[in-house]
Amino acid sequence: MDHDKEFERAIALSLQESTTTANNPIVISDDEDEDTHFQADLKRAIAASKAEGFRDTNTRPQSFTPSAFLSERAQLEKERLERQKRLRQDAGFEDENTAPPAKRQHISSSSRVSTNRRADTSVSASSSSSTSVFWEGELRPVANRHTDPRQDGKPTFRLTEVLGKKSEISFAILSSYSLSVSWIYEFFDPSVPVIIVAQPDESGQATIKNVLPNWIRTTPFLRYGRGCMHMKFMLLFYKTGRLRVVISTANLIDYDYRDIENAIWLQDVPLRPQPLPNDPKAVDNFATVMQRVLHALNVRPALATHLKTDHPNLPLQSIDHLRSHWDWSKVKVKLVPSIAGKHEGWPKVILTGHTRLMKAIRDMGLRTGKGKAAKDLVIECQGSSIGTYSTQWMNEFHWSARGESAEDWLDEPKTRRAKLPYPAVKIVFPSLKTVQTSVLGEPGGGTMFCRGVQWNGAKFPRQLFHDSNSTAGGVLMHTKMIIGTFKQKATTNSLDSHDKGKGRQSDADSDTETETEEDDVVEVVNDAPIGWAYLGSHNFTPSAWGTLSGSGFNPILNVVNYELGIVFPLQDESELESVSCFKRPPRKYKVGEDKPWMQEESTVFQR
C-alpha cells in the first residue's frame, strides 16, 4: 500500500463513528422516545470523536507527514484499545480483542469457528456454504456464540454467509444505526464500491462524504436533528447479476453478530433478461417501495458520485432501475418502511408507518373486519426499547394491525379516544430477572431500554408486559418482532367498543391481575392464515411507527424515525412457532415480583 492510500485509510479510520465503538460495553441507545437523552449522548459522542480524531491538531508542525500522522494514530489507537480493555473488564466481559480494528475481525471470526464448530456442522447442508442462494426467501436468527447449540435447533445465518464470497460482490448498499465502519470494511474487498447509510449528526442535515477508498457514507434529513436513522438492510449486487436483499434487526457492529440475538430475512433476486418499461402505476410492490426508501435516505447523490468518479459501470445505474432490471416476482413478503417527517393526506399516509402496515395486511387479505363478524386480533410485540404509551396510540396502532382504516375514528373527539381501554397487546420485554440470569448478566443489557419514569407512570400499561425469553437459550434479544394472531371472539374490546359508541374509562392505572390471554385459541378457518408476523428495525414505539392526527378526510402521520421491516402471513401454528424468536406464550409479569430491566437501576451502568 503506498503512502497516500495508507494515509487516506488512517484518516478514515480515525474518523469512524465513535458513537458505537465496536468492543466497548457502551450503551447504544435506540430509545427513540427519549429525544433529549439521545441528543445529549450524540453530542458527547461527536465531541469524543473530534477529541480523539483531531487531538493536538493545532500544535502539529505545518510540515507533518503521513508517516508521522500514522505513528501518532498508532499511539492513539493503542491508548483507545487499552481504555476499551479496562471498560470491558469493569463490565464483566472477557477480553478477546487486543488487535487494532484492521485485524480484529480475523481474530473474532476464528474464535467463532472454533466455539461454534458443532453448530456449523449441523447446518452445513442447508446454510453454511457461502454460495447458497435463496430464491424463495429465508428468515433465520443470527448465529450467537453464547447459544451453541441452540435449544430450538433452528438453522442460523452468519454475516459471512449473508455476504457470500468477497470476490463475487460488485457493489453494496448498506444501512445501519449503530455502526463500526472499520469492522464491516474487513468483510469486503477494498476495491468494491459501497454506499453506507448512517445516522446524521446533531444538525439532522442530509450529507454525503467519502469515509474510505470506494466507500461513501450518506445520511438522510431529520427534522430539527430529532430521531434516528434506524433502518438495517443490505442490497448486495453480485458479478453474476444476482441481487440479494437483506432486512435485518442487527446493526453493523460486532456485538450484534456475537453477543446479542438478532434475526435476518434475505432473498435473492435474479437479473431480468430485458428491463421492464417504466410503469407509473407500480407504486406498491416490494421493489418500488425499496426505491422510495433509497430516495428518502439520500442514496441518490451517493450513487451519482460513484458513477461520476471511479465506478461508471455499477450494476445499478439509477435507483429507479431497481424495479425494472431485476425480477421480483418471487418476493412475497410486504415491505413496511417508516420515513421520518410529516405525511399528510391518505395517498402519502398509507406509504409509511403503521398505516403502511395496515395497507400491507389488507393486501394480504388479513383484515379482521368490523362489527359482529370481526375477528379478534392479539399482537405480541418483542423489542429492545419501550415507548411512552397512551390508550389512544395503542388503539391507533392496533386498529392498523387489524387492517382497518383510521378514517373510521379520526373524526371522533380526542377526549373520547383517550378513554378507550388498552387493546389486546402483549408487550414482550426482558424482566430484570431474565437479564440477571442471561449468559452475560447485567453487563449484556446495554442495548435494552426501559426507564423508571415510564414504568412508574400512573397510567403506564404495566399489566400488558410479558417476559422476553429467546427460544435459543439464555441470550438477550435485540430482535424486533410482532406476531399477530386471530383469536376466537370472546369479549368486545378497545375500538370495537368505540365503533359501537361504548368507550370506557381506561384501566391502565391498575396493576390488578386480570384474566390472562395465555389460553386464547388460534382461529383456523378453511386453512386460512392464522395471522401474520413482522420482522425489522421497528421497536414498538410511537417514534418508530408514527402518530396520527388530522381528520378522516385529511389524515396527518408524524414519524420521528427511519425504520424498515417486512410482514408476511402465518399459515399455521407450526410456522408460527418456527418464526417466533421468543418463547410462546410469553410469561406475563407477576404483580409485585417482576419489573422490566432498567439500566438506570444497575450498578454496572452507573459510571
Convert the pLDDT of each residue in 512-542 to its tens digit: 444 344 445 555 556 789 999 999 999 999 9
Q: What is the mean pLDDT of residues 414-422?
A: 86
Binding residues for substrate: 232, 480
In whole angstroms, what is the distance from residue 154 CA to residue 137 CA? 16
In whole angstroms, what is the distance from residue 511 CA to residue 514 CA? 9
pLDDT for position 521: 54
pTM greater than 0.75: yes
In whole angstroms, what is the distance from residue 67 CA to residue 255 CA? 32
pLDDT tens by residue, 91-110 = 444 333 333 333 222 222 22
Identical fold at 103-313 and 334-605?
yes
Query: Catalytic residue among 306, 325, 466, 478, which?
Result: 478
Active site residue 478: yes
Answer for the pair 428, 382: CB distance below 8 angstroms, yes or no.
Answer: yes
Q: Record the cell numbers describing residue 158, joined without a space.
A: 452468519
Instruction: Return the exposure string of 245-262: e unless at least 16 CB atoms fall within 10 Å of the residue's CB, then b.
Output: bbbbbbbbbbbbbbbbbb
φ and ψ at residue 374, rounded to 5 degrees: -70, 145
The rounded mean pLDDT for the chain is: 80
Query: Catalytic residue among 146, 230, 398, 466, which?
Result: 230
Answer for the pair 430, 597: CB distance below 8 angstroms, yes or no.
Answer: yes
Percent of the chain scored above 90 by pLDDT?
66
Strand partners, 252: 179
In 364-507, where does DSSP find H-type helix?
391-401, 414-417, 432-436, 452-455, 494-499
| 345 Ramachandran zone, left/alpha/beta (phi>0; psi -120 to 50) | left
Q: Which residue has the higher pLDDT, 551 or 21?
A: 551
Q: Record the cell numbers describing residue 520, joined without a space.
A: 386464547
Three-state DSSP state, 423: coil
The answer to whether domain 334-605 has CATH 3.30.870.10 is: yes
pLDDT for position 519: 47
pLDDT tens by residue, 130-185 = 469 999 999 999 999 999 899 999 999 999 999 999 999 999 999 999 999 999 99
In whole angstroms, what is the distance from residue 202 CA to residue 178 CA? 15
Answer for the pair 220, 195: CB distance below 8 angstroms, yes or no.
Answer: no
The domain limits of the chain are 103-313, 334-605
In whole angstroms, what is the distance from residue 92 CA to residue 428 CA? 26
pLDDT for position 487: 84
Q: What is the mean pLDDT of residues 223-242?
A: 96
Q: What is the CATH number of domain 103-313?
A: 3.30.870.10
Binding residues: 232, 480
